[in-house]
Amino acid sequence: MDIFQFIIPFSEISLDRKSVLRDIGYPDEESAKDIIHIYDIIAGQAEKETEIKAGFIIFEQNVSLNNNCLIFGDHKFLTGQVINNQLNKIEVFALFAATIGIDFDKWSSSLFEKDPAAGFIADIIGSSIVESAADWIESKINNYFSEKGMGCTNRFSPGYCGWPVTDQKIFFSLLPENFCGITLTESCLMIPKKSVSGIIGAGKHAIKKDYQCKICNMENCFKRKQH
């Protein structure tokens, strides 16, 4: 089983002001003109509050998709129909995790106490940074499989697209302890809070399809906002 862990330099993270403002709800920069200077200050401070880590593990056991589950070895993920439709041509898969570190959680919380608007913007910036870290590790995984002549699926996370977040317990039991500095609470919350975990399938005929937001029932999902 191949295990990879990386520290991602902030310079390799994409933090796009327009995109963060859109995530907050602003249709364009003009409508956010009064708060742009707050964004710029917070975004400028964010780098020193982050310690961005990501990693992945390759699973090359026989994989089967039955009854809306992903089954491999003695393990079973309740991935559901939506995700299984996307994984249907995979032969192997990678589990990945990414985080921006516990200091960011502490910083954004204390900022909210002093200046709620700045704290809120910091929180959205943190979400954007961790998604960029997930993009970064997804790209590494794509390259890994590409070198083996395999294509990759989209990435899917417990808690989204019908995959119960409770499967995080199985997910994290398959990773080395404290993988990338991430731990799981009893209620399946990742600590640090700005962390992402997920699966990417791969195979000779595996392809990346768009997210199927219209058939998912999670109305407030960030993917729905992006697509």
Partner 1 sequence: MNEILEKLAYCIERGKIDKNSNYPKDLAGHDGASELTRTALELSIPANDILKNALMIGMNRIGEKFGQGRAFIPELLLSAKAMNAAMSHLKIYFDNGEATYRGTFIVGTVAGDLHDIGKNIVKMVLEGDGWKVIDLGVDVKTEQFINALNQNPDGFIGMSALLTTTMINMEKIVTDIKIIHPKVKIFVGGAPLSTDFSRRIGADGYFPDPHEFTKYLQGIL
Residue 3 or 41 having the CB closest to partner 1? 41
**Pair 57, 1: CB distance under 8 Å:** yes
CB of 43 to partner 1, least distance (A): 14
Residue 74 or 186 having the CB closest to partner 1? 186
CB of 127 to partner 1, least distance (A): 10
Q: What amino acid is encoded at 72 in this protein?
A: F
CB of 168 to partner 1, least distance (A): 8
Residue 56 or 163 having the CB closest to partner 1? 163
Exposed, middle or buried, 13 (CB in 10 Å: 0-12/13-18/19+)? Answer: buried
Residue 92 or 124 having the CB closest to partner 1? 124
- Give CA–CA dist 73/52, Å, rounded: 31
* Segment (H or E) for 208: none
- What φ, ψ does residue 56 adopt, rounded to 5°? -150, 160
CB of 96 to partner 1, least distance (A): 20
Instruction: List, in sequence order, every residue forming a beta bridge with 198; answer none if it has no partner.
Output: 96
Which residues are near partner 1 by CB under 8 A? 24-27, 31-32, 34-35, 37-38, 109, 112, 115-117, 119-121, 123, 159, 164-166, 185-189, 191, 193, 218-221
CB of 212 to partner 1, least distance (A): 18
- Give CA–CA dist 77/217, Å, rounded: 19
Residue 4 or 120 having the CB closest to partner 1? 120
* Segment (H or E) for 212: none
Q: What is the residue-wise DSSP string for 36-102?
A: HHHHHHHHHHHHHH---EEEEEEE-S-EEEETTEEEETTEEE--HHHHHHHHTT-SEEEEEEEE--H
Residue 5 or 127 having the CB closest to partner 1? 127
CB of 111 to partner 1, least distance (A): 11
